[in-house]
Amino acid sequence: MDELLEQFLIEGRELTEQANDDLLALERDPTSSSNIDSAFRAVHTLKGSTALFDFAPMTEALHAAEDLLGSLRAKQLLADRTIVSVLLECIAASERWIDCIERTERLPVGAAAQASALRQALLAPLKREDQQTSTPPPDLEWLAPLLAREGQSMAAARGAGRTITALRYVPNSDCFFRGDDPVALVRSVPELLAFRVTPREPWMKEGYDPFACNVVIEALSAASPDDLRRIFRLVPDQVVVIEVGNRIGQFAPNGDVSLMDKSLESGLRTLRVEASRIDTLVDVAGELIVAQNTLAHLAAKARQSDPALAHAMAANHADFERLVANMRSAVMRLRTVPLSTTFRRFPRLVREIADKLGKDVEFVVSGQDVEADKSIVDGLFEPLLHVVRNALDHGIESSAARRSAGKPTTGKVMLQASREAEQIVVTVTDDGAGIDLSAIRKAAEARGLMPEPVLNALQDSAATDLIFAPGISTATQVTDISGRGVGMDAVRTAVELLGGRVDIVSGIGSGTTIRMTLPQTVFVTAVMTVRVGQELYGVPLDVVAETARIPIDRINAIRSGEAFVLRDRTIPLVRLSSILDISTPERSGADVKVLVVSYGNQRVALEVDAFVDRAEVLMRPMAGLLSGMPGVLGTALLGDGRVLIILDVSELIG
């Protein structure tokens, strides 16, 4: 793909996100001029970039959006819900177009018709307004040439991160009679960066009137707009004061001076790097860990033949280990992004869905600053969307139902994130009706998941867990929003693919919380290595609840299986050798070694021949022909060059 187009896709997404955020904020506070300005700049810049390509319909639609935002900016219109909605629609369409451009490098069929409909909708409020008032928008044509001309004068102030304020002062021609001296006013402007006086009408030497003021004054200052307004408070009708941010003066490709998005400017200094380059670095850092493990292995070997050398190697290894750990965390941070990149897409979606359902919902987002690996943050979107949809559709009741249940008529859905040790926890909580367990039991029975007596004997938490079984839906009617058979099992699968797990807590009448626990990084997997027969296997540590030795006489045969009681809990026992089809001698010792693993809400013990080690390994997913191999998560290279197979425990038992 063309580099310019790639850049457009990246920036386009950033700009639509920015516009989205601003518009949603504007809906909460229709008078917020900073949000209007920011949305205007985003749309303006996006429009400018589309013009570089053959995306004319998109340019047109955005142009209309820019016009509409322009009149909000000029305070000719108030940003009411209708106006914000149509602007949001335009941004949503732009997002879809950008997605399509990424796939096909062109706009979708029908974009032109869509754009012209959008255009009409966007311009409709302007027409309505035309008939009412006739205040011209403030003319800002002068600003671009001024900024272009004075780029150098602004450099130092920009470098110091100062705001720059532009001023245009067109004194009335009779101002001298009123005692005004425009130059004296400019003289009192602090931190003047540029000052230029030009004639308003061409100079006439013949019949020159010394008492008619004929100048236009343009100036830049590092003082704040408010300071300038204070100075010119007696001539407010003759001045335009505008804050131009601190990195103005960059030329957009169309020769326009772009009013750079302040949120991009004032943030951290960033460097955009292609993801594949970072992945290369991640790979190298991963290999380094393997190399470090090799060193540990060698040191252990040397201990027998040359203890002094082994000692030196061990000391060296410690240094090496520390440096590798530092490098690892630095590399991991490279791929880390805040959850806000996914979370910020939700407020608008929630608004759309709630509107469609005719429900009144307050949506609260928190913890969007929590960071995780980009693949996890991106991968969370689909499952989260599903869960949020469910909360809105099935969770939150209609206003009438809520009123009769004695709840506030406005439902509440919360999307929260937090860090817990090495993991992130993302929860979606609604204060809706909760999950109807009898409906779940019925659905499970209808699907033949379990016989009725078993279902009825299930504890409530286990029954709630059934919602994750394939094909279970409690939706009484299929709506446009959800309930189309893509159930919570898809959510569980998606989250597990990311290395996480999903839990659910629900109370009838009080609502439902879906809790997703995910690793922060996908880089290194901590595994427990165990021996079965002569072979080594890895079990991800995050599923290992504990290791234990169980006396043989405490193991009871239950039908075809075995189980034992551990701290008042019956835990089924599975021999790893029989699942993996490895022949091992009969049990000989007084006890067996087991790995107690959590599997959904349950615990299962895996019998192994020996616990070998705990190690951090770089896990590679199975590729090619092996990718379909059941029960295997991936492989890792051990320090001594052997390949460790990492088991997918839930797949093996389930």
Partner 1 sequence: MSVRVEADIAYLAGECRVEDAEPLLGFLQSGSSRVVDLTQATHLHTAVLQLLLAFRPHVVGPASDTFVQRWLIPQMTDT
d(C-alpha 345, C-alpha 336), whole Å: 18
Which residue, 199 or 485, has its beta carbon nearer to partner 1?
Answer: 199
CA distances in angstroms from 387 to 471, 508, 522, listed in the order given: 16, 18, 23
Rounded to whole angstroms, how far apart are CA atoms 389 and 354?
Answer: 9
- The two three-digit tokens of residue 75, written as one number: 């305070």
State which residue, 80 or 181, has the beta carbon closest to partner 1.
181
Closest separation in Å from C-beta 195 to partner 1: 5
Asked whether 361 and 401 are in contact (CB, 8 A), the reply is no
Consecutive H or E run containing 216 = strand 215-221
The C-alpha R_g of the chain, in whole angstroms, comes to 33
Token pair listed for 451: 């016989």
Longest dimension (CA), the chain: 120
The owner of tokens 């000719």 is 76
Name which of 205 and 567 has its Cβ closer to partner 1: 205
Where is 513: in which H helix or E strand?
Answer: strand 511-519
Collapse the DSSP code of 462 into the 3-class scheme (helix H, G, I; strand E, B; otherwise coil) and give the result.
helix
Q: Which is nearer to partner 1, 189 or 595 (CB)?
A: 189
**Tokens 């879809």, residue?**
96
CA angle 609, 613, 616 (to 5 degrees): 135
Q: In the complex with partner 1, which residue's Cβ is closer, 169 or 564? A: 169
Half-sphere exposure of 22 (CA within 13 A, CB side): 26
Question: Which one, 198 or 304, has the nearer CB to partner 1?
Answer: 198
Beta-sheet strand order (sheet of 215-221): 192-199, 215-221, 165-169, 239-243
Nearest to 46 by CA among 19, 79, 6: 19
Nearer to partner 1, 183 or 446 (CB): 183
Between 105 and 181, CB nearer to partner 1: 181
**Residue 245 Cβ vs partner 1, minimum distance, rounded to whole Å:** 24
Closest by CA position to 298, among listed 282, 311, 284: 311
By beta-carbon proximity to partner 1, the closer residue of 10 and 197 is: 197
Q: How distant, in Å, are the alpha carbons of 292, 307, 325, 616 from that of 300?
A: 13, 9, 21, 18
**b/e burial code for range 414-431 (CB count within 10 A of at least 16 → b):** bbbbeeeeebbbbbbbbb
Q: How crowded is residue 149: how many other Cβ atoms within 10 Å of its Cβ?
A: 14
H helix count then E strand count, the chain: 23, 23
CB of 146 to partner 1, least distance (A): 14
Nearer to partner 1, 196 or 333 (CB): 196
Asked whether the beta carbons of 537 and 575 are under 8 A apart, the reply is no
C-alpha distance from residue 70 to each of 5, 20, 36, 83, 148 (Å):
27, 16, 9, 12, 22
* Helix or strand (DSSP H, E) at 332: helix 307-334
| Closest CB to partner 1 among residues 173, 513 | 173
Q: How far is the CB of 221 from partner 1 (least distance, A)?
A: 12
Scanning the structure block, which residue is given the tokens 């004054």?
217
DSSP string of 218-230, one letter each residue: EEEESS-HHHHHH
DSSP result, 589-615: SSEEEEEEEEETTEEEEEEESEEEEEE
- Looking at the Cβ atoms of 52 and 215, the one nearer to partner 1 is 215
Q: Which is nearer to partner 1, 204 or 315 (CB)?
A: 204
Identity of the residue, 142 or 195, whose beta carbon is nearer to partner 1 in the bound complex: 195
Nearest to partner 1 of 182, 499 (CB atom): 182
Cβ-based burial of 448 (10 A; exposed 0-12, middle 13-18, buried ≥19): exposed
Using alpha carbons, list the distances in angstroms from residue 620 to 66, 71, 394, 644. Answer: 48, 55, 39, 10
Nearer to partner 1, 187 or 333 (CB): 187
What's the min distance (Å) between Cβ of 180 and partner 1?
A: 8
Cβ of residue 141: shortest distance to partner 1, in angstroms? 21
Structure letter (DSSP) for residue 391: I
Token reading at 279: 């992945």
Determine contact, residues 501/517, Cβ cutoff 8 Å.
Answer: yes
Asked if residues 410 and 360 have their Cβ atoms less than 8 Å apart, the reply is yes
Which residues are near partner 1 by CB under 8 A? Answer: 171, 176, 180-184, 186-187, 192, 195-197, 199, 203-205, 208, 210-211, 213-215
Question: Which residue, 90 or 220, has its beta carbon nearer to partner 1?
Answer: 220
Strands (E) across 520-568 are located at 525-532, 535-540, 544-551, 556-558, 561-566
